[in-house]
Chains A and B, each alone.
Chain A
Amino acid sequence: MELYDKIRILADAAKYDVSCSSSGSNRENKNGGIGNASFYGICHSWSDDGRCISLLKILFTNICIYNCSYCVNRCSNDIERALFTPDELADLTINFYRRNYIEGLFLSSAVYKSPDYTMELLIKTVKKLREDYNFNGYIHLKAIPGADINLIRLAGLYADRMSVNIELPSEKSLKLLAPQKTKESIIKPMSFIHNQLLEKSDSKKLMRYSDKFVPAGQTTQLIIGATPESDRTILKLSENLYKLYSLKRVYYSAYIPVSNGNNISGVTSPPLLREHRLYQADWLLRYYNFTADELLNEKNPNFNISLDPKVDWALKNLSLFPVEVNTADYNTLLRVPGIGVRTAKRIISARKASSLSYDSLKKLGVVLKRAKYFITCNGKYYGGCEIETNKIKNKLLPKSNVLEGQLSIFDSFYKTENNLPIIV
């Protein structure tokens, strides 16, 4: 089979994995070799769907012995199949890298023959890159659920980052849609990687040198909308993953109906807006010190689709507002809608020079359209209406023309919402 066809088929099969980042690793170029990793990550292109392309994200093969209902590659699906050799893939990576198309490789795979056999193929590929080509660029490897822990350990020595995809937010859904995978086969490698990282950071203190084991940590992915879990269930799960396994990122992937899989029916289009709200909320967990319980509760288990989670939270907690921009501390500023991490820092530093006027806030990059309802500036309030939930909400709700532009997204959201009780 031609290389062209392999790339066409195996890129296509890899596209549903949303993780793409090349950040978190400081790997240096050694001994005049090729490549290094940038801690902040670099994107090199954007695909037609607007998503960043940073790594050569590809499957080693899409020939799978499993039959997960949500997946295009499941064995019962009648599609074109392909398989790389480690040489082909290593060679392709190097050549794309030399041309500055990519930051490195994100290698994942269907389960070919057995989890161990597949893991060994992935290891062969990256070993070749690191040892034969002296490649020091970024490598993200997927840990194949069910693979031997010793193989995972070995893989971790070559990779910058590893991920084990949870895919479904509850054990019940997993049983139903991916019966060959068990919760254990996912959690075990995840906790192993976590423990290994803890161990390495301990031994680093003792020894001057220790092997780098996945220096950029681990991530995972959850599919949104294929099963009936609420936003709250999903966000709580993420919160725990950050706490218990120190995951670097949880990725959310709006479920795209990939064909007539069993047990998933009626999902017609991907719940993109819901995915977007979850990313916003996830951001609030990681950078703004929010907890999942502050954002959602049992009475309101799903996000308001027309307001972003921070505005929504602020409106429900109006008693905490308005805050005075000239005196509020960093953490308080961070909770104001329209003020992000960067602007909060700029406010703190500009305040040292002189007190801030309402006009100067714009210069500092504050999105006043939202912020003005939640702040005072030298004691003066600029919202122009009473500080009252419904009044502010009315001003902040998207106007109808905005809604029209996004109608397709809202549309799909409602459809999926209606279709949620498909699995009981």
Chain B
Amino acid sequence: MVNYIFDGTFDGLMTVIYVSYYNHQVPNDILSENSYQKNFLGDDIYISTDINKSNKVQNAIKNKISKEALKNIYYVYLSELESSYMLIYKYVRLGFKIGRKINYFLQNDIVNDVIKLSQRINHEAYKMIELIRFKEIKNGLFYAKIHPDYNVLPLIVPHFAERFQDQYFVIHDVKRNLSAVYDKKSWIITDISPENTLITKEEEDFENLWKIYHKNISIEERKNLRLQRQHMPKKYWDILIEKQ
């Protein structure tokens, strides 16, 4: 009964899979060090992250299973659910057995859970791409705040970096205190975020123009707030200008 402990990074998780494979040792559980409390019953082994091993596992997944499978695994990892690590482990094992066809096995609970969870992450990333609102906080610097349920920041930055090539921006995940910073060339994710996010008078004008637009484009005779909430869940309203 062995538990593997790792540093919580994706490479760390891939290293765990590598080690367990070569040790022929099926883990009882896989835990990240942040949430780990020492368990007196089983053996706990700390695995330190090794980029080489991680790359080997990722390549093996890509070649022996599929790119699609690797994408699913990464998405499930971003769910940050403690149970996701073992789910990923089981999915990879199954994948090495079945190979390319794994995603046809929708009736299998492991496959089904992975695909459903991966879709949930994907869905939230898409919601963020829709609902993010930037504010100009300094001449030419745009700032947006988010607090997604899952850690979708790495999934959404490429979209904005491609779209706003001529614009400096920061997307700040306030829940995890992570910021994606783009400088018109490339982007990074760091834990440093801008201190001053107060907005100017001009910015306020644009927000008001948007509110007026939003109100007037709606047809009174067709009012349907329930449908609106289905697409724009209440939990995101605080980042939406038009809902403030």
Contacts and interface: CB of A to CB of B under 8 A. Distances in A.
B129 A42 contact: yes
B224 interface: yes
B227 A46 contact: yes
Interface in B21-44: none
Interface residues of A, number: 55
A16 B106 contact: no
Contacts of B240: 45
A196 interface: no
Contacts of B230: 50
A157 interface: no
A353 B104 contact: yes
Contacts of B166: 32-34, 134
B210 A101 contact: yes
B222 A92 contact: no
A98 B232 contact: no
A11 B210 CA distance: 11
Contact of A356 (B107, B132, B165): B107
A364 B108 CA distance: 11
A12 B213 CA distance: 8
Contact of B223 (A7, A29, A49, A364): A49
A269 interface: yes
A50 B225 CA distance: 6
Interface of A: 3-4, 7-9, 11-12, 14-16, 29, 32-36, 42-53, 56-58, 92, 95-96, 98-101, 134, 254, 256, 269-270, 272, 346, 349-350, 352-354, 356-357, 360, 363-364
Interface residues of B, number: 52
A363 B104 CA distance: 13
Nearest to A9: B216
Most buried by B among A9, A35, A50, A51: A50
A272 to B, nearest CB: 7
B216 A8 contact: yes
Most buried by A among B132, B222, B240: B222
A332 B185 CA distance: 51
Contact of A353 (B107, B206, B219, B228): B107
Contact of B209 (A3, A50, A269, A270): A3
A33 B206 contact: no
B226 interface: yes
Contacts of B215: 48
Nearest to B225: A48
B163 A36 contact: yes
A7 B224 contact: no
Given A43-B130, A349-B103, 14 more contacts: A34-B165, A45-B240, A48-B224, A48-B225, A49-B222, A49-B227, A50-B227, A57-B217, A254-B222, A256-B219, A350-B105, A350-B106, A353-B101, A354-B107
A98 B134 contact: yes
A98 B101 contact: no
